[in-house]
Amino acid sequence: MLLVDSLALSAISVFLKVVYATHDFPPQFKFGAASSAYQIEGAWNEDGKGESIWDRYVHTRTGVIADESNGDVAADSYHLWREDVRIAAELKLDFYRFSISWARIMPTGFENNINQAALKHYSDVIDALLEHGIEPVVTMYHWDLPVKLQDLGGWTNELIAYWFESYAEVLFLNYADRVKTWLTINEPIVICDFGYNLGTYAPGIREQQLAPYLCNKNVLMAHAKAYRLYQREYKDKYNGQISWANNVLWIDPLELPRDVELATLGKEHMVGRYSHPIFSQEGGWPPSIEKHMLNYSLAEGYSASRLPPFTQQEKEFIRGTGDFYGLNYYTTRQIRPAEEGEKGFWFLDGSPELGAMLDIPPDATYGSSEMLAVVPRGLGQMLSYLKKTYGDIRFLITENGYPGWEDINDIDRIQYIKEHLEEVLQVMKTENVSVIGYTYWSLMDSFEWIGGYQSTFGLYDVDFNDPKRPRRPRLSAKYYACVIDTNSLNVSQECTDNIPIADTWTTEENTGNIILLSNTLAIVLLVVIYIFMKLD
């Protein structure tokens, strides 16, 4: 009996260390939250700001926003930025990711007209964050292109790479001494496919043949020019790091083995077009997509591929322009061949180019948005895939967020954060994936593009019916603050004492008891087997 007690206690002790270790993040792991200029700032025509494509889009078109709203005032963060810094500090964020409005800094998009009031505004925000011990992570472009540039073709004009470089230089000159982490462009695939293919996002162009692919190449060139500029002029002095925030969609085959090859091609079409040119050893488009698009284009009667080729010089120029991999993850899809008469639009529900349709997987759950069906496992699968595809690079999760409602006791959002962070921890520990941080979207409720204000993502509720736009912490804010404070998913009971025990949520204490009970029984069984083996 003494032997059993000794072995059991020893085994339980080891087991507890393993269990709790798997819920702890490395000491250097960083937690943040995010926002973007158009979605929260408001002040759309104040202090010399120029008109952006989203200003024009919501002001000149009807029926494009679900609740017919706009971002003219939004969360009024242009005026309430001190309150935003305060709540970021209240959360104990390691970093706050926010974007700078190109149209606010350079009203016409060009360097001959620089808005000094805007430069001071963002400088004040950066200083205040640093004073509170919060690192500013700056996104240079989050979709609010100056309309003057769109009038010249926007992201389908190859000159935009030079225009973006000029804009980046203004930001580096003014902020590189204090900003050490930069994201050049947010979700380039959304810019190209929702803005120029589907036409559901600003600038609202629906040209499905060439525009999204011209955009695809041009955003890569623009990103690379900003990156090379920093390396050439600022890296030695300030030693910052630069990447961009790539929207990733995990894609499962619907039917095995039939759809395995199609799923691989789908991931290359979704993720590879915006990753392979930067993070692969050879650069350029993914070979499978390059070949597929050429054959598809020729079959359509084109004399060349709709996907513009890179010269060898361009490949070398873009390759290696990411100091880490920034990824925004929200959802997962299953892919299958399109049936006769079916036609989907990338990356909403299918792809004519791939002859494929995308379906929501059966294990998904839902918040307020069906499009962003919740599938936490996809985040872990994507991180694993990206490491296997591009090697031992560092990953920063630049967005991950739950589309909820106006409820303050947002239990589902807490579960969402917990389950996604568990996926991150699992691949970090079992596959040695180097994830350096996690960004929750979003710090506060904001204008959610064509969804208007119908879905809420914020850790803080914003009352958009009150002219003062007060912020109020949700229960998830308290939970996230505790995760940050402990650097662990083993948060104290204080963070969960207001959460009812239900099928959709179990407190860490009860979860631990369940795990401990089941594994203790397994250990006892092993001990008994061990004793019988010794007796034999």
Burial of 301 (C-beta count, 10 Å sphere; 0-12/13-18/19+): exposed
Residue 378 tokens, joined: 């996809």
The 3-state secondary structure of 369-411 reads CCCCCECCHHHHHHHHHHHHHHCCCEEEEEECCCCECCCCCCH
Selecting among 51, 290, 399, 448, the annotated active-site residue is: 399
Q: Does the annotation count 399 as an active-site position? A: yes
The answer to whether 261 is a known catalytic residue is no
3-state SS, residue 142: coil
SS (H, E, C) 425-459: HHHHHHCCCEEEEEEEECCECCCCHHHCCCCECCC
Strand-pair category, 95-99 with 30-34: parallel
Contacts with 147 (C-beta within 8 Å, 6 or more apart), sequence order: 50, 51, 52, 53, 55, 56, 103
d(CA 417, CA 413): 6
How many angstroms separate the CA atoms of 420 and 410, rounded? 16
CA distance 33 to 40: 13
Contacts 24+ apart (CB under 8 A), 3-12: 3/531, 4/527, 4/528, 4/531, 7/527, 7/530, 8/520, 8/523, 8/524, 8/527, 11/523, 11/526, 11/527, 12/516, 12/520, 12/523
- Residue reference for tokens 């609202």: 204
The strand pairing partners of 472, in sequence order, are 461
* Residue 359 structure tokens: 């379906």
| C-alpha to C-alpha distance for 434 and 387, rounded to whole angstroms | 9
Buried b / exposed e across 178-201, counting CB within 10 Å, b at 16+?
bbbbbbbbbbbbbbbbbbbbbbbb
Of 51, 169, 187, 353, which is the active-site residue?
Answer: 187
Peptide bond into 347 cis (omega under 30): yes
User: Is residue 114 within 8 Å of 106, Cβ to Cβ?
Assistant: yes
What kind and span of H or E run contains 363? none
Q: Indicate which residues carry an active-site annotation.
A: 187, 399
